[in-house]
Chains A and B, each alone.
Chain A
């Protein structure tokens, strides 16, 4: 058990709809990362938050947004869903240091993922 909790485990929805994926990081981790993994594909970095603030952004679509709340849990919102958005969405957490205060080399601990199917 990585200590990272993701809900829901599965999500089936129709094109055009909006969904919210939730992630609770490991106790003590301030960083939350979101990744998308399409079928038999690699892990595409979407976005990272550190202690409530956006820290880094990847190839995240404008239809997607995320936030990290004061209790450090994070939500990934996907809107105007398309068939191609069907994928496994992983959240991961880490003990990254504050910006400019050390090396970014802490391991990431992944949740079990949310499998999104858009029909």
Chain B
């Protein structure tokens, strides 16, 4: 089946530092979705990208979809302790397949 890999697996940052997670696929993706799961919580939808080279912003979060539609990234500027959690990318065909996730820890 289609595999979507995410790197890094873990990231520890000091509050105020930036953070980026990358999502890579060996095949072209029709779309990419991003979810955040807080510790002890459930995944929550953040955004969807469908166009080649698309860039979307949500406050301090910037999402990009690669030109070849095989990779995507989520960048958080000036992290805050509220950003703690695991960030998943996901590809939706007839089922939603999640990437391996990046766990972000932010130290105050």
Q: Which residues of A contact B (CB under 8 A)?
A: 2, 33, 35, 42-43, 45, 48, 55-56, 58, 90, 92, 94, 99, 103-113
Contact = CB atoms under 8 A, between A and B. Distances in A.
A56 B94 contact: yes
A42 B93 contact: no
A106 B94 CA distance: 11
A110 B88 CA distance: 14
Contacts of B101: 42-43
A34 B30 CA distance: 22
Contacts of B92: 104-106
Interface of B: 30-31, 33, 35, 41-45, 48, 50, 88, 92-101
Contacts of B45: 107-109
Given A104-B92, A105-B50, A107-B48, A90 B98 contact: no
A58 B95 contact: yes
Contact of B98 (A43, A48, A56, A103): A43
B10 to A, nearest CB: 10
Contact of B42 (A33, A45, A103, A113): A113
A45 B4 CA distance: 13
The 8 lowest CB-CB distance pairs between A and B, nearest first, are A107-B45, A56-B95, A110-B42, A43-B98, A56-B94, A105-B31, A110-B43, A42-B100
B98 A45 contact: yes
Contacts of B94: 48, 55-56, 99, 104
Contacts of A112: 41-42
Nearest to B93: A104
B96 A110 contact: no
Contacts of A109: 45
